[in-house]
């Protein structure tokens, strides 16, 4: 039987046309987990990470360490 994990509540639903089939393991230290729990006590740490990843993939947030977007790189890439 699969392990039961706590489910983060208050997460936005995925669009009906979009199904995610890739799982990613993100390793966090205990202190990082504590910091996440302080940021959003209403969500589990995995729910917070899921929201952060969704924001990055949707283009709502781009971390400072991320590569420049093609339009910001000074030219377009040829394919």
In eight-state DSSP terms, residue 23 is -
Q: d(Cα 1, Cα 31) in Å, to the nearest integer?
A: 31
Residue numbers of the domain that contains 44: 30-64
pLDDT tens-place string over residues 16-74: 676 667 777 888 899 999 998 898 889 888 888 888 888 888 888 888 888 887 776 66
Say how far apart CA 55 and CA 57 lie, in whole Å. 6
Residue with tokens 């994990």: 5
Determine, yes or no, domain membership for 8. Answer: no
Look up residue 79 and give its DSSP letter: -
Residue 77: inside a domain, yes or no? no
**Domains contained in the chain, number:** 1
pTM beyond 0.85: the answer is no
Answer whether residue 60 is part of any domain. yes
Q: List the one residue out of 51, 59, 79 whose CA is nearest residue 69.
A: 59
Residue 34 lies in a domain: yes
Does residue 72 fall inside a structural domain? no
In a domain, 79, yes or no: no
């Amino acid at each position: 039987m699969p392990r039961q994990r706590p489910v983060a509540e208050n997460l936005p639903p995925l669009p009906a046309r979009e199904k995610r089939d890739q799982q990613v393991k993100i390793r966090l230290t205990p202190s990082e987990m504590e910091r996440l729990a302080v940021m959003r006590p209403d969500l589990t740490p995995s729910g917070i990470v899921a929201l952060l990843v969704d924001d990055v993939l949707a283009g709502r947030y781009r971390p400072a360490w991320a590569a420049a977007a093609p339009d910001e790189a000074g030219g377009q890439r040829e394919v």
